[in-house]
């Protein structure tokens, strides 16, 4: 039994996700696909952080994905990621070379966002016994197994007795794994246990979970989405409204997009009336005050601060509650400038900040038929609504 063992976990996210790639999820590598409002990698990381069982959580990513990684992990406290390699095995070795000295190491697929605490605890208990140096979760195979020739003709039926489909995280005694690695690694190793098996170390299996599936093909996104959505049944609708008056200037910023205009909007920093209305809609959905209460205008530290900071704060509050933003609708009320030509840029800008997919963000515009202050061209008004889903737990 190791007292107060130090445990690190590698989260492998350097793959290209070729089999799962689909335009429906923006064609990004699967670990960055936004599912139920969050990139899969973020769901996996938040879950692991929430377990409070690891001394170090280190991501292995592809060098091309640095900005996707930064967006997906914004606000999480993590060490700088390591770059992976051509094969999963190379990625896991790069990660192992970079982790801090530890007693136990686990290696986990970023594409398995539903890892359960019971599984991790059982793996740790097993290693802590001192007798087990390698332990992995798995499920007995229940389907009948057929082998085919290169076409679809069956050439054999394989007994499923003692056969397991294995999952991650896979858990190892770190010094023993390093020792096994020094023997060398085969290019076709599809999991980390194979390194220990090849070096002659016993690898044990504990019970995995059906929920802990790996997102592999496009259909798995839907499965993951359904699994996440059932937990997010507390549905809230928030609203926000804001007005800024025109002043001298030559552009306005609306939903983060700078548009040339005969006037500018008066207000601190960019006076982004549309983003302010949207931010208030998000605060409203979680019944947590408004921009003014979070960023009092009387406090000099918020003078001139970019509107994006307010919006990010609202998103963080929702994320910290384990929630997701299901929809955001913004209506900009003005005679001019024309919003239509900028609509999609605005949606994209809001999506980049909030991580909400663009097809869940609507931007509309209307005039007031030359009536009232917007009709007279004295300023711009914006109203917004936000639909937020929170976990059912606790209500
Ligand atoms: N992985 C990695 N480095 C690689 C290949 C895979 O870090 N060179 C990671 C993936 O990001 C994934 C996990 O290993 O989290 C499991 O691999 P797999 O499901 O095969 O993912 P991909 O290789 O990304 O997908 P595909 O095989 O469809 O391209
Ligand atoms: Mg692969």
Distance CA 384, CA 325 (A): 13
pLDDT of residue 395: 41
Q: Which residues of the chain have pLDDT under 50?
A: 394-395
**4 conformational bin, left if phi > 0, alpha if psi -120 to 50, beta if neither:** left
8 Å CB contact between 346 and 254: yes
Least Cα distance to 277 among 245, 296, 254 occurs for: 254
pLDDT of residue 2: 60
pLDDT of residue 355: 83
Give me Rg for the CA atoms of the chain: 25
Q: What is the pLDDT of residues 297-326, one digit of tens each?
A: 889 888 888 999 999 999 999 988 888 899
Question: For residue 19, which atom of ligand 1 is closest to its CA?
Answer: 28
Which residue puts its alpha carbon closest to atom 8 of ligand 1? 87
Exposed/middle/buried for residue 151 (C-beta within 10 Å: 0-12, 13-18, 19+): exposed
What residue has token string 């085919």? 148
What's the CA-to-centroid distance between 12 and ligand 2, angstroms? 11
What's the CA-to-centroid distance between 13 and ligand 2, angstroms? 10
Exposed/middle/buried for residue 142 (C-beta within 10 Å: 0-12, 13-18, 19+): exposed
pLDDT of residue 3: 62
Q: What is the pLDDT of residues 226-279, one digit of tens each?
A: 998 888 889 999 999 999 999 999 999 999 999 999 999 998 778 999 999 999
pLDDT of residue 1: 57
Ligand 1 neighbour 22 (Cβ under 6 A): no
pLDDT of residue 151: 84
DSSP 345-358: HHHHHHHHHH---G
Ligand nearest to the CA of 218: 1
Ligand 1 neighbour 263 (Cβ under 6 A): no
């Amino acid at each position: 039994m190791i007292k107060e063992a130090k445990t690190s976990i590698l989260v492998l996210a350097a793959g290209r996700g070729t089999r799962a790639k689909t335009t429906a999820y923006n064609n990004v590598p699967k670990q960055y696909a936004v599912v139920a409002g969050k990139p899969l990698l973020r769901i996996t990381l938040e879950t692991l952080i929430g377990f409070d069982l690891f001394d170090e959580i280190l991501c292995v990513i592809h060098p091309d994905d640095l900005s996707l990684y930064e967006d997906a992990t914004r606000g999480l406290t993590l060490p700088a990621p390591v770059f992976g390699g051509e094969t999963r095995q190379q990625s896991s070795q790069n990660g192992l070379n970079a982790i801090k000295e530890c007693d136990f190491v686990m290696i986990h697929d970023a594409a398995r966002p539903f890892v359960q605490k019971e599984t991790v605890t059982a793996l740790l208990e097993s290693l802590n016994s001192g007798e087990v140096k390698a332990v992995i979760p798995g499920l007995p195979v229940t389907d009948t197994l057929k082998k085919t020739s290169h076409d679809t003709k069956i050439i054999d039926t394989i007994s499923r007795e003692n056969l397991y489909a294995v999952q991650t995280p896979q858990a190892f005694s770190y010094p023993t794994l390093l020792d096994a690695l020094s023997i060398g690694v085969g290019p076709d190793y599809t999991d980390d246990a194979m390194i220990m098996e090849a070096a002659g170390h016993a690898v044990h299996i504990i019970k995995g979970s059906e929920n802990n599936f790996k997102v592999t093909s496009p259909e798995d996104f839907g499965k993951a989405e359904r699994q996440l959505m059932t937990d997010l049944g507390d549905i809230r609708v928030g609203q926000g409204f804001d007005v800024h008056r025109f002043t001298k200037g030559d552009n306005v910023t609306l939903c983060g997009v700078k548009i040339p205009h005969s006037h500018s909007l008066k207000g601190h920093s960019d006076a982004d009336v549309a983003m302010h209305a949207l931010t208030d809609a998000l605060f409203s959905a979680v019944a947590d005050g408004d921009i003014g209460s979070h960023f009092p205008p009387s406090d000099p530290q918020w003078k001139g601060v970019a509107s994006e900071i307010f919006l990010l704060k609202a998103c963080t509050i929702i994320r910290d509650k384990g929630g997701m933003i299901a929809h955001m609708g913004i209506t900009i009320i003005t005679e001019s400038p024309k919003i239509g030509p900028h609509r999609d840029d605005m949606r994209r800008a809001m999506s980049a900040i909030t991580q909400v997919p663009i097809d869940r963000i609507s931007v509309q515009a209307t005039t007031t038929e030359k009536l009232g202050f917007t009709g007279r061209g004295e300023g711009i008004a914006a109203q917004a609504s936000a639909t937020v889903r929170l976990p059912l737990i606790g209500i």
